Structure 1
């Protein structure tokens, strides 16, 4: 394992991206760490590596003798919290997440077990109806609810704060720092600022506490363990924010697959774990409407963290600008 041997490298849509993998000293250190951590579990690497290089991570599938493969992930500094966060989640909500085999918080390295079938792979080979998406949203919301008590600890792990009361400041920072917005687009967003402050104040007043927001929970970010049961992973875009900000990405993917008529069912499934704390169904729905729109702030911030100082033509500012402009569109299940 300390000798690279054969490695199949996938660079996806980023053939020119520079990652630590290009440095021999880094590869040697990283793969040596994997070897040592496997040995600590009585395991041994055996076979060719599959390397996935993206600007936001290095991911290596490591075949292991006598069992399923394991995965090494290296995060950049902006998302180095992912390993410690995954380890903490395995303690707090063990039934919902992967349990890392090893974490090096200082270097942003994590060794994961194989999680089984991606939900995306299941969707590609089976007839899966909307009820599975309802189940995953219900399970995910239940996990978020259980993590409310740990929100402060999650922040102390380095997970970015995008708390409901602080979202106007997040918007100001994103708008000021974005280099891809045109003058007309910037003026539109500037004009939206007073309404955005009102939305944030109203959302905070509804009393749903901040907790962990995955910020990019789509069908490639979770494993389907069995019908109706899921394992959530890939927390590199996460933030501590309003929980309902998580709904949008998942619901949009399901609506793309089945049509917009499934959205009321998805919304009801997601909100179910949040009932019973004295809030009415109308209040929870209104909170979901507001958070749907405001969720783009965490997603825009994640692009900015991933590509700091990128040029106007780079993916960071452009993607962040597109997310910010989505603030001007009304949610699909109610006016903003």
Structure 2
């Protein structure tokens, strides 16, 4: 990074967050890697660098003449698989994901092209309806279905494997989550039911696949009509695929009300029909996965940079606790 380069740093709500960006040697190595990878492709950054620092990632937007921008991302150790996973997905399901410009898997770094318009921006600026959400869920489920045969390879990349039958153990491992006594008692009371839900969900026989965990409208691009690009895989797990439906369905619920949910559910289930599973079984599986998805999302809040403490750590832990308490909520189906 040349001395004259303008750099704007955004820490959001986490003003005391500890990230590698504060380490001069790390920053110099990261900048050198980015500039080297761009030079190898005949590219050069020009203009203001925008740095977004969070306890779970370092994200840098670099303007590049001729292609808009590129993005550098650094993950904490627990999410360091993201670059390698994104590269693998670009080979296996290229129509659904970004292809990285470069990946340093050992350091958890990736360099990504710009993906176009965020779905969130499209929703804010244009009139859309539930059909858009149906199509994105149909495409996402088709991708998951295609990836069921890749589960061993995904695991070898370092993506955590959480078979549905192990989710009660995840609840036990989250026992130090900051909760009020009555909340902790509520979760303790539901623990036997969690085991029953997991056993029932496993019995439906849907194979494990990749679960994005946090598939909201800021985590996917909508570059053209009918097209969707899924990105930001740092929270991902291998688990029951239906757990992915909760987050996008909630966003659509907020926009269109409860009548949209059956349409979204059935669109998502299209690629999973057949194989001896009835429609009733699949719909019941969606209800069970809706609750259990809280465990993967709560666990993802632990993927932070080493040294995270103070107010930043407390904020993240509080958000994880709110996720965990969703186990107590009745699904809206």
Smaller-chain TM-score range? over 0.9
2:244 maps to which of 243, 246, 251: 246
Q: Find the aligned partners of 1:82 and 1:276 in 2 and give their Cα distance.
A: 32
Give the alignment's TM-score, normalised by structure 1: 0.95
**Conserved? CA contact 1:102–1:110, under 8 Å:** yes
Residue 305 of structure 1 deviates from its aligned partner by 2.7
Deviations 1:268-313 (A, max 9, x none): 1111111122211000000000000000000000012337775697
1:218 maps to which of 213, 216, 219: 216
Mind listing any 5+ residue stretches in structure 2 that lack a counterpart? none
Partner of 1:198: 196
SS at structure 2 position matched to 1:84? helix
Change (3 A) 1:311 1:290: farther
Map residues 1-336 of structure 1 onto 2, 5 A cutoff: 1-3=1-3, 5-175=5-175, 177-178=176-177, 180-306=178-304, 310=309, 314-333=314-333
Aligned pairs, number: 331
Q: Find the aligned partners of 1:300 and 1:143 in 2 and give their Cα distance.
A: 24
Deviations 1:14-58 (A, max 9, x none): 122121112222221111100110111121111121111111111
Residue 192 of structure 1 deviates from its aligned partner by 1.0
Mind listing any 5+ residue stretches in structure 1 that lack a counterpart? none
Give the alignment's TM-score, normalised by structure 2: 0.96
SS at structure 2 position matched to 1:301? helix
**Conserved? CA contact 1:132–1:227, under 8 Å:** no
Residue 236 of structure 1 deviates from its aligned partner by 0.8
**Conserved? CA contact 1:213–1:243, under 8 Å:** yes
Q: Find the aligned partners of 2:278 and 2:111 in 1 and give their Cα distance.
A: 43
Deviations 1:94-138 (A, max 9, x none): 110000000011111100000000001111111011100110000
Change (3 A) 1:289 1:310: farther
SS at structure 2 position matched to 1:43? coil
**Conserved? CA contact 1:307–1:316, under 8 Å:** no
**Conserved? CA contact 2:17–2:309, under 8 Å:** no
Deviations 1:56-109 (A, max 9, x none): 111111111222211001111111111011011011111100000000111111
Identify which range, 17-26 or 115-124, moves more after superposition.
Answer: 17-26
**Conserved? CA contact 1:307–1:315, under 8 Å:** no
SS at structure 2 position matched to 1:228? coil
Change (3 A) 1:39 1:168: same
Identify which range, 249-258 or 45-54, moves more after superposition.
Answer: 45-54
Q: Find the aligned partners of 1:135 and 1:239 in 2 and give their Cα distance.
A: 23
SS at structure 1 position matched to 2:300? helix
SS at structure 1 position matched to 2:99? coil
Q: 1 or 2 for the larger relative contact order (CA 8 Å, sep ≥6)?
A: 2
Q: Find the aligned partners of 1:160 and 1:93 in 2 and give their Cα distance.
A: 20
Q: Find the aligned partners of 2:304 and 2:230 in 1 and give their Cα distance.
A: 21
